[in-house]
């Protein structure tokens, strides 16, 4: 089995199939967007709705990066709880960011409804599950901080969490009714379709090869042409490629892999996640599980599937599945895939000021809601000239020392954990 996009479940079940041409020749636009995932497509859609001329170029197909490899949990907020966000960026900026991200799932599901995006939306909430009694302490801390800012989250006892998940392996859960699940690749491609319908011109198989600032505009080269635009948005996140004239911001690449069962029989679906919440746990090496629209259980964990030790990740998956649901111990797992997460040291997304453009990155595993929000906000800020519209203050630069070594540390830790756990 390979772990590229085509081998994954989301590619196999995607109902959104817009097609876009390669870019060739010369063109001018108000805004050029590089990257066709959630951030880039949301930016293109918003800019086109505001009346700007937009060109989006994507090196492969829309959603082929992290957006098409996502777990599909449309969460409110970030991985960090509110007080940790405030400590990192200041109380005023932190409160504003938390408030904006609290509304991100509503923004996502509103776009899905408005543009009739065929992405299996289920707004039934998410469950952050305690993997052990110690994990409940973390959930209690998060519950206290979230309720303090008005979030309608509910702390579930072990008994209630077992009933909601259908698994005796959980020790409590934090339920967030604002969130839900989607087919992540279909959502990205649906955003692309909506942007094109609004007037943006999108191009796939058209990687940016060079960029430069030329007077008051940007010049962007591709293998078959060149674009000139007043504004630029770099929306490549964890999938940045080498581009002459542009040094991608440093991030810590962390990988996450998944696989799916066959559709479960109706009797099991009455017990396993009967309300269709999406789940992830409190373990240091995190796991996630959810159902898709056809009743497949999609399960995943931290790690990559493209190195010699990845067999340990694959062999762990059925053990983890059986630990969660003993009735699935003989279930076949297929459609293995993995993707990259762009992590920052603070676990916070960043926007870099490129002087007439922005680069956005570092969702640290929370791409759907934040990507949708940040993309639209960057388009509004550039076209209006008002940086106060951005969810976070823009930075002038960003660096992470030893990012490659940190990435190797995470992968080694995940591999060793999966060697010994759930046996």
Rounded CA-CA distance 177/422 in Å is 30
- Spatial contact of 172 and 203, defined as CB atoms under 8 Å apart: no
Give CA–CA dist 122/102, Å, rounded: 17
* pLDDT value of position 322: 97
Q: Which residues pair with 25 in a beta bridge?
A: 225
Question: What is the per-residue pLDDT across 3-23, written as a single tens digit (0 to 9) for each?
Answer: 478 889 999 999 999 999 999
Say how far apart CA 40 and CA 244 lie, in whole Å.
20
- Residue by residue, DSSP assigns 103-130 as THHHHHHHHHHHTT--S--B-S-EEEE-
Question: What whole-number distance in Å separates Cα of residue 353 and Cα of residue 393?
Answer: 9
Match 């060697």 to its residue by tokens.
419
Percent of the chain whose pLDDT exceeds 70: 99
**pLDDT at residue 26, rounded to an integer:** 98
Model pLDDT, residue 1: 31
Q: Is 30 within 8 Å of 201 (Cβ atoms)? A: no
Contacts of 266 (CB under 8 A, 6+ apart): none
Domain 5-420 in CATH 3.50.50.60:
yes
For residue 59, the model assigns a pLDDT of 98
User: Residues 296, 297, 300, 304: is their CA dihedral positive or negative?
Assistant: negative
Integer Cα distance of 310 and 302 in angstroms: 11
* b/e 120-155 (16+ beta carbons within 10 angstroms → b): bbbbbbbbbbbbeeebbeebeebbebbeebebebeb
What's the pLDDT score for residue 3? 45
Q: What is the pLDDT along the chain (423 residues), one digit of tens a residue?
A: 334 788 899 999 999 999 999 999 999 999 999 999 999 999 999 999 999 999 999 999 999 999 999 999 999 999 899 999 999 999 999 999 999 999 999 999 999 999 999 999 999 999 999 999 999 999 999 999 999 999 999 999 999 999 999 999 999 999 999 999 999 999 999 999 999 999 999 999 999 999 999 989 999 999 999 999 999 999 999 999 999 999 998 999 999 999 999 999 999 999 999 999 999 999 999 999 999 999 999 999 999 999 988 999 999 999 999 999 999 999 999 999 999 999 999 899 999 999 999 999 999 989 999 999 999 999 999 999 999 999 999 998 888 888 889 899 889 999 999 999 988
Burial class (CB in 10 A: 0-12, 13-18, 19+), 235: buried
- Which residue from 39, 38, 183, 176 is spatially nearest to 121, judged by alpha carbons? 183
Residue 190 exposure: Cα atoms within 13 Å on the Cβ side: 25
- Residue 105 — φ and ψ, nearest 5°? -60, -40
Q: What is the pLDDT of residue 379?
A: 98
**pLDDT of 6:** 85
pTM for the predicted model, two decimal places: 0.97
């Amino acid at each position: 089995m390979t772990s590229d996009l085509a081998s994954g479940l989301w590619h196999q079940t995607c109902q959104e199939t817009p097609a876009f041409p390669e870019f060739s020749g010369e063109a001018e636009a108000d805004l050029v967007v590089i990257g066709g995932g959630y951030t880039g497509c949301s930016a293109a859609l918003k800019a086109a709705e505001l009346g700007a001329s937009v060109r989006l170029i994507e090196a492969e197909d829309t959603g082929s990066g992290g957006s098409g490899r996502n777990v599909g949990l449309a969460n409110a907020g970030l991985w960090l709880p509110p007080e940790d966000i405030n400590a990192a960026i200041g109380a005023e900026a932190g409160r504003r960011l938390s408030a904006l991200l609290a509304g991100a799932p509503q923004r996502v599901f509103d776009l899905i409804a408005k543009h009739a995006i065929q992405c299996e939306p289920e707004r039934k909430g998410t469950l952050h599950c305690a993997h052990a009694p110690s994990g409940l302490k973390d959930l209690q801390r998060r519950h206290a901080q979230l309720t303090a800012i008005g979030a309608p989250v509910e702390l579930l006892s072990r008994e209630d969490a077992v009933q909601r998940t259908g698994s005796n392996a959980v020790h409590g859960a934090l339920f967030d009714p604002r969130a839900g699940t989607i087919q992540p690749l279909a959502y990205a491609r649906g955003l692309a379709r909506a942007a094109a319908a609004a007037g943006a011109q999108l191009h796939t198989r058209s990687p940016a090869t060079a960029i430069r600032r030329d007077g008051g505009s940007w010049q962007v080269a591709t293998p078959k042409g060149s674009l000139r635009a007043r504004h630029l948005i770099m929306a490549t996140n964890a999938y940045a490629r080498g581009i002459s004239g542009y040094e991608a911001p440093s991030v810590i690449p962390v990988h996450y892999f998944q696989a799916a069962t066959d559709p479960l029989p109706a009797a099991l679906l009455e017990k396993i996640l009967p309300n269709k919440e999406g789940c992830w746990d409190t373990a240091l090496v995190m796991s996630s599980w959810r159902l898709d629209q056809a009743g497949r259980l999609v399960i995943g964990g931290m790690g990559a599937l493209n190195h010699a030790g990845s067999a340990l990740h694959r062999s762990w998956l059925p053990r983890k599945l059986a630990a969660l649901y003993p009735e699935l111990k003989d279930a076949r797992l297929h459609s293995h895939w993995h993707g990259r997460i762009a992590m920052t040291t603070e676990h916070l997304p960043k926007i870099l000021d490129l002087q007439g453009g922005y680069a956005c990155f570092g969702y640290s595993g929370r791409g759907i809601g934040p990507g949708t929000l940040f993309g639209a906000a960057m388009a509004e800020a550039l076209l209006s000239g008002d940086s106060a519209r951005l969810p976070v203050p823009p930075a002038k630069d960003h660096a992470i020392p030893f990012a490659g070594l940190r990435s190797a540390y995470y992968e080694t830790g995940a591999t060793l954990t999966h060697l010994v756990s759930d046996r």
